[in-house]
Amino acid sequence: MAGTSQFTIGTEASCSDGAVGKVSRVIAGPVAGEVTYLVVEPGHRRGPGRLVPLDLVEGAAAQIRLRCTRAEFEKLDPAGEAHLVPAASAPPGTARDWRRQLTLGEDRIDAATWAGSVPQSAGIAPRVRVGRGKWFNLLWLLPAGLVLLLVAVASAKGLRGDPVIQRFIARYPGTLYSARARAATGFPAWLQWQHFFNLFFILFIIRSGAQILSDHPRLYWTRHSTPGRDWFRIQKPVPADPLWTAKQDSISLPGQVGLPGLRHSIGLARWWHLSMDLLWLVNGIVLYVLLFATSQ
């Protein structure tokens, strides 16, 4: 029936084979801004009312007629308290008045209430399992790598002074170019932009990947994820608390590192990660096509 009809609470409602009760509530749709359901309380039994779609309703004055039988009425969805909109009547425009009192949500996240007010929790340095119960701190690879780099540079400088190496460098200086290479000097604009987008997408992939890892800060060899069987972790050992959850196990990352940078935001992080993966692959395909299609 038309959405401009007026319904009065307490009006008798009847089906094609007899009366079923009275209208006790109305429900307005927030999108359409008009009454979409009537709640009819049965008069012949005790129990919850039924949600009657407006397209089953005929008449709205002294009596409301429903285009269904009493048996079909009983099969309609029950009306819970979450659906009810109390009112003495529902004149046209009531739902629109309610909508004017609503405010739009802000396009920002409150970190204090995000994910059920999970407090911020910092992780630890990345560790790899060595043996059954020992862990190796990967930060030790930084000074070890620096030492190896210094040793490699010193060895290279020493080898360069060797007569055999000097004769090899003189014979193969590495500065000869073909005629085609000499003609195509520098990088074309499209190649420069490809390199830029490659780095741009990789940064987003790394940041969102770090956020995904921070939400599940342990890696396992099997799919069972049994506590104590992880081979890599950036979080403290799982406590003995039997109610320890994955949300509690997640760690926080600074907003400048993780993307989006909030604890327990793996859904947003996966969206960023997969979206940037797709764009990165498209950029790579375009690069290879242009490499073979041009003089590069």
Q: Residue 91 corresponds to which tokens in the numbers above?
A: 């004149």
Looking at the fold, whether 225 and 285 belong to one and the same domain comes out as: yes
Q: Could you say which of 149, 173, 197 is where a domain stops?
A: 173
Residue 72 lies in a domain: yes
Residue 127 lies in a domain: no
Looking at the fold, whether 216 and 292 belong to one and the same domain comes out as: yes
Per-residue model confidence (pLDDT) at position 152: 94
Burial of 182 (0-12, 13-18, 19+ CB in 10 A): exposed
Q: Could you say which of 79, 100, 121 is where a domain stops?
A: 100
Asked whether the beta carbons of 20 and 14 are under 8 A apart, the reply is: yes
Radius of gyration of the chain (CA): 35
Per-residue model confidence (pLDDT) at position 86: 47
In tens, the pLDDT along 189-245 reads 888 898 999 999 999 999 999 888 888 888 888 888 787 788 898 888 888 777 777
The boundaries of the domain holding residue 47 are: 7-100
Residue 39 lies in a domain: yes
Looking at the fold, whether 72 and 157 belong to one and the same domain comes out as: no
What is the DSSP secondary-structure string of 20-49?
A: EEEEEEEEE-TTT-SEEEEEEEESSS-S--
What does the alpha-carbon distance between residue 225 and residue 5 come to, in Å, rounded to a whole number? 59
Could you tell me the pLDDT band of residue 147, with boundaries at 50, 70 and 90?
very high
Q: How many domains are contained in the chain?
A: 3
Looking at the fold, whether 154 and 91 belong to one and the same domain comes out as: no
pTM for the complete prediction? 0.53
What does the alpha-carbon distance between residue 29 and residue 43 come to, in Å, rounded to a whole number? 26
Per-residue model confidence (pLDDT) at position 69: 87
Residue 59 lies in a domain: yes
| Position 156 pLDDT exceeds 50 | yes
Residue 117 lies in a domain: no
| Position 282 pLDDT exceeds 90 | yes
